[in-house]
Structure 1
């Protein structure tokens, strides 16, 4: 358990759900007492757009850089970062860890990731800011 395939990553996540892991950096802890619901209502919808086909695009802080136009894809089992974005973050290629499992794209085409990297990803503004360590596959 714990390989680099999507199923192995999911199995490892399920197996460790109850365990507490302390990140090597200080993060803002979000618990059920200070979570605020995010919801959308009819007033938020643009009636001119097709209601269920809009992409959700946000800005986030990644490795202390503001990254605009982050696409949220809730159907993906991997967090993907393009190599150009990785280079712009100024992270050394030595930080990339080898990945042996190829990714399958929407069209069924296989792509070999250049590697994976763990980076802090922050959303929101203090005091309602959450930071998590996220494993990105760099392509």
Structure 2
């Protein structure tokens, strides 16, 4: 016959056998590391990512930069998107170039804003030969 022991009883018996250790209470200082950084302007953000995408030379760097650029609570400027598209074609990764437009559509939030971006990016899109997911039939 198996005897079951409740978790509470087991915890109490183990705690009773454990030696008592004095625990010193120390004050914990919480640092606010993010407060030391200044606010980044949209122009500085744009300049930083354009420079980043201009120097990308492999797919991992490109995708890391795209995750960072689209991770902010703003829609990247067309110059950032242009630099990212050129980088995608430079590293010869067509699917990532198509995904840039998908990310832009999500970040834009409205069809009107997305259409403005697409109108402005149309010459580069044609030059690079990149189509959107919808144009590819998906």
TM-score w.r.t. length of structure 1:
0.24
From the two aligned structures, give the one with the greater helix fraction.
2
From the two aligned structures, give the one with the greater strand fraction.
1
Instruction: Tell me: higher relative CO, structure 1 or 2? Use CA pairs within 8 A at least 6 residues apart.
Output: 1
Q: Between Structure 1 and Structure 2, whose CA radius of gyration is higher?
A: 2
TM-score w.r.t. length of structure 2:
0.24
